Structure 1
Amino acid sequence: MRRDGRVGLFVIYVAALGAVLTPAHAGDDTAYAYTWPITAPKGAAAYLVELPEQAYAWALPDADLADVVVVDAKGREVAMGPYWPAPATTHPVTMDAALLPVPNGSDSAAGPSIRRSTNGDIVIEPGAAAATGSVHEWLFDARTPIAAERVEFPPTQRDVKLTVDIDASTNLQDWQPRIAGASIVTLGHGDGAVDARVVTLAGPAARYYRVRTGSDDAPWGDGARVTLSGGVVDAAARDEAKRAWTDVASTATTASGGGADYDYKLPAALPVSAVRVALGQGDSVARLSVTAITGPVSGDSLGTIVVTPGADNRPLGFNPARRDLIRLHSPTPLRSPPRLAVGWRPDRFVFLPEGEPPYRLQVGSAGGRRAAWPIDDAMAALRTRNGAAWRPEAASLGEGHELAGRKALVGATGIDWTRPLLWIVLLLGAALVAGMAATLLRKPPPTGEDPEDAR
């Protein structure tokens, strides 16, 4: 082989070796699908950025937003992470709420149905069979999430001694125990009477509360009310992203159970926390069950919306989660699919002013993952230094554009052959170098040269 050919192959070998051995880092442009320039005011200790709707179309759902990074002007990742606002201030509140009895069910028929109306009120519909026996379960609505500290039950006209369990919920579906086996005792009247009707509670804020008894001695009739005391979050002090609304067109209609299913494919897997429904032309009233579809035969029930003529049809709220397919089911077919809007609050990230501006937000990667920066500790230190009212400075995003596009997501849909091919070139280069060395060792010295000098 000619010397210049050997030199060229050796150069290719060295380049392949460098490509294989150079690790990719989180800020590599080729590792991410999409980017936005960040405009951040100078001099702030930290910056807050909200993910735009388009970012959710690129962020891989199984990455849990770990494929979201901020890089500086040289493409180096800066310290950043999810933004968790400081706890909002609370103020004490005391309010009365009606005890709503839940009718007993029947072994041979469906029991009562409990749901929320569009404005969040508790709706209890009796079962198919008439209720029998004493009531053992009651519900009451605090009207707003309250971190309950005590519940005072109504006075009675007779002696009572019973044990109650109290649970709390934010959606009337998922219940968390607050206290079990609490005693309520009322004995006698006047001096020496026992009147223990207050139960102490603890736990996070919830709007709905459930009271259950294990005996038939509960004395509460129609119109009975409890007094609930606790703490409520000051709405003016909440540090949260503004809710955005996205209109979604119906993508499929299927007959189901004498009624119809209406499917709505979202533009991306958005962190949906509310839905709002309006009926199409020609329809005036409907009861719609709302489900987030998670698989071919699975879904999460989000609640029920009842749309009536002239009513203030408020949104149905629920816990936020990334959802990309919503199904509305009507037990009676409608003339046209309802109009759906989904409400969502964008995820927020905070980053520190490291490196050289301008900064960029990069999203979507099969292999790139954000480093585990101790950003929560940094936020705690800044709040300690600057006071509880301190907030990171808001940064804005410019017009985005693709980086590697769908190629950055190749690990989720196919095989990236780049590295295997580089290894093949590397091995071939190694074999070439070994062959060149063996050839040189076997080659005899030039004619006329002293063998001793050749050594």
Structure 2
Amino acid sequence: MRQKLNLGWLGAMAMGVAMMAGAQDKPADFATQVPLSVSGNGPWYRLELPLAVQLNARQADLSDVRVFNAAGDVQAYALARETAQTAQDRVLTEVKWFPLYNRMDATEHAPSVRVQSSANGTLVQVQPSSQLEAGEEELRGWLLDASAIKAPLQRLILDWTSERDGFQRFSIEASDDLQHWQPWGEGQVARLTFADEQVEQHEVSLPGQPARYLRLLWDTPHSAPTLTSAQLESASTRSLPLPLVWSQVLAGSSVKPGEYTWQLPMGLNVERIQVELSQPNSLAPVTLSGRRDSSLPWQPLSNGLLYRLTQNGQDVVQNELQLPRQVVQQLKLTVDERGGGLGAQAPGLKFAVRATQLVFLARGPGPYTLALGNSAVKAANLPLATLIPDYSAAKLATLGKASVDGAATIAPVASSVQATSGTDWKKFGLWAVLLLSVVFLAAMAFSLLRKPPANP
């Protein structure tokens, strides 16, 4: 009897597996199909999903992404979506700063200095390499001692005093030995008086690399202000985040002065936005809000000062806002009109999301196809450590590469995708047959259990 029961349950399981295999995802179940080309060593291939492709998904978490081979068989895959906050410990450190003086008529960009440091590299004294007479010296910048910080530097925060308000623009250079300097771009801070209020910008983004010393050399104005505070934010990161990818310009609308709204193609984890400032000499304190859909109240996300000002024949632009990690599909920008506003028409807006990588295990004949666009299917992605048994961040970089095969392929195709409000009768029927089979087998088992054992 036990043998019969075991055989019955095994048969039911085999029937269930067969039925579920019959209901397996097929390419025609998805609204968009994108051919892929592969290069390098398989059988694993890594694809960075273009944002234009991602926006064809019907589910914000990309649960409806699949990869198929030429025979229409679904491929095992994983999604890698590390964010800027992943595995990071952020620390804000107050650092020492030393003035960099030079002759007022000097032509070289960086002052020549003599530096005295301790055995562990901490700066003790910084002096001009030649004696400067009183009245001929000019403060050109500052040298920051970051030798005690071992983690990558993410942000610089300054405070200063100066005779007049305005913008402070300076170059940023990094070094580990005070001899060889690597450019880290430009920084910009500001202190402005606006509508009887003071608006200040103290923070400068850094490239997220380690360095023992930073050199700040002023461009505008030519003479540096007096620093009163210098802080560096560092972050220990076990795995570097994927880069941000930017959208095309998104058109918005305005229903009342000083308020602009934009509708995103889908719910997205937006990390940064960029507002187009088409008119020179624009200055706008703003508040950014967001929500998932129009039935929900607006939630404040960020605020800041946007501007495009002309100084010394050059445009000084600050048009970006950083957002917290929150899925939104609608954005609203509220502008303080006392600065002149941003015009009656809504400005164009770009949004940035963290790049997503898809890794799949190639099985069966190529070519391979990426499919997405089905609001009914469930997530099928595996953890990277399951897809690649000996997975490591180093091995991920050595995998073969896959890419979208031509820009013209990113387009919806005619398919038999079920409407969201429709009923998937095929799956209901398969589940009904499976459940009836299980009930039938359970009834057989119950009947056998009640049957008295045969007399020997």
Q: TM-score, normalised by structure 1?
A: 0.52
Aligned residues: 299
| Partner Cα distance (1:71, 1:306) in 2 | 46
Is 2:320 aligned against 1:315? yes
Larger Rg: 1
Residues 418 and 346 of structure 1: CA distance in aligned 2, closer, same or farther (over 3 Å): same
Query: Which residue of 2 is the match for residue 79 of structure 1?
Result: 76
Residues 239 and 395 of structure 1: CA distance in aligned 2, closer, same or farther (over 3 Å): farther
8 A contact 1:81–1:375 mirrored in 2: yes
| Partner Cα distance (1:92, 1:283) in 2 | 36
Residues 343 and 305 of structure 1: CA distance in aligned 2, closer, same or farther (over 3 Å): farther
| Partner Cα distance (1:403, 1:284) in 2 | 44
Is 2:41 aligned against 1:43? yes
Shift of 1:244: 2.5
8 A contact 1:37–1:397 mirrored in 2: yes
| Partner Cα distance (1:26, 1:338) in 2 | 45
Residues 123 and 232 of structure 1: CA distance in aligned 2, closer, same or farther (over 3 Å): farther
Residues 366 and 24 of structure 1: CA distance in aligned 2, closer, same or farther (over 3 Å): farther
Query: Which residue of 2 is the match for residue 397 of structure 1?
Result: 404
8 A contact 1:31–1:404 mirrored in 2: no
Query: Which residue of 1 is the match for residue 359 of structure 2?
Result: 350
Query: Which residue of 1 is the match for residue 112 of structure 2?
Result: none
Q: Counterparts in 2 of 1:363-374, with a 5 A limit?
A: 363-374=372-383
Query: Which residue of 2 is the match for residue 249 of structure 1?
Result: 251
Q: Counterparts in 2 of 1:203-282, with a 5 A limit?
A: 225=229, 238=240, 240-241=242-243, 243-250=245-252, 252-255=253-256, 259-281=257-279
| Partner Cα distance (2:373, 2:155) in 1 | 48
1:31 counterpart letter in structure 2: D
| Partner Cα distance (2:155, 2:77) in 1 | 42
8 A contact 1:273–1:318 mirrored in 2: yes
Secondary structure in structure 1 of the residue aligned to 2:390 = helix
| Partner Cα distance (2:156, 2:27) in 1 | 58
Residues 238 and 340 of structure 1: CA distance in aligned 2, closer, same or farther (over 3 Å): same
| Partner Cα distance (2:267, 2:154) in 1 | 40
Q: TM-score, normalised by structure 2?
A: 0.52
Is 2:302 aligned against 1:295? no
| Partner Cα distance (2:387, 2:429) in 1 | 43
Residues 79 and 417 of structure 1: CA distance in aligned 2, closer, same or farther (over 3 Å): closer
| Partner Cα distance (1:390, 1:422) in 2 | 42
Query: Which residue of 2 is the match for residue 414 of structure 1?
Result: 422
Moved more, 278-287 or 64-73: 278-287
8 A contact 2:291–2:299 mirrored in 1: yes
8 A contact 1:60–1:366 mirrored in 2: yes
| Partner Cα distance (1:403, 1:261) in 2 | 38
Secondary structure in structure 2 of the residue aligned to 1:55 = helix
Shift of 1:363: 0.6
Residues 261 and 314 of structure 1: CA distance in aligned 2, closer, same or farther (over 3 Å): closer
1:316 counterpart letter in structure 2: L
Residues 228 and 315 of structure 1: CA distance in aligned 2, closer, same or farther (over 3 Å): closer
| Partner Cα distance (2:385, 2:193) in 1 | 46
Residues 305 and 292 of structure 1: CA distance in aligned 2, closer, same or farther (over 3 Å): farther
8 A contact 2:29–2:417 mirrored in 1: yes
Query: Which residue of 1 is the match for residue 283 of structure 2?
Result: 285
**Percent of counterpart pairs with the same letter?**
18
8 A contact 2:45–2:402 mirrored in 1: yes
| Partner Cα distance (2:33, 2:284) in 1 | 43
Shift of 1:39: 0.5
Query: Which residue of 2 is the match for residue 435 of structure 1?
Result: none
Shift of 1:288: 2.5
Report the structure, 1 or 2, having the larger strand content: 2
| Partner Cα distance (1:125, 1:409) in 2 | 58
8 A contact 1:49–1:348 mirrored in 2: yes
8 A contact 1:147–1:232 mirrored in 2: no
1:77 counterpart letter in structure 2: V
| Partner Cα distance (2:41, 2:209) in 1 | 39
Shift of 1:313: 2.1
8 A contact 1:120–1:316 mirrored in 2: no
Pick from 380, 384, 399 the counterpart of residue 375 of structure 1.
384
Moved more, 224-233 or 351-360: 224-233
Shift of 1:327: 1.7
Cα-Cα RMSD: 4.8
| Partner Cα distance (2:330, 2:381) in 1 | 31
8 A contact 2:250–2:262 mirrored in 1: yes
1:390 counterpart letter in structure 2: A
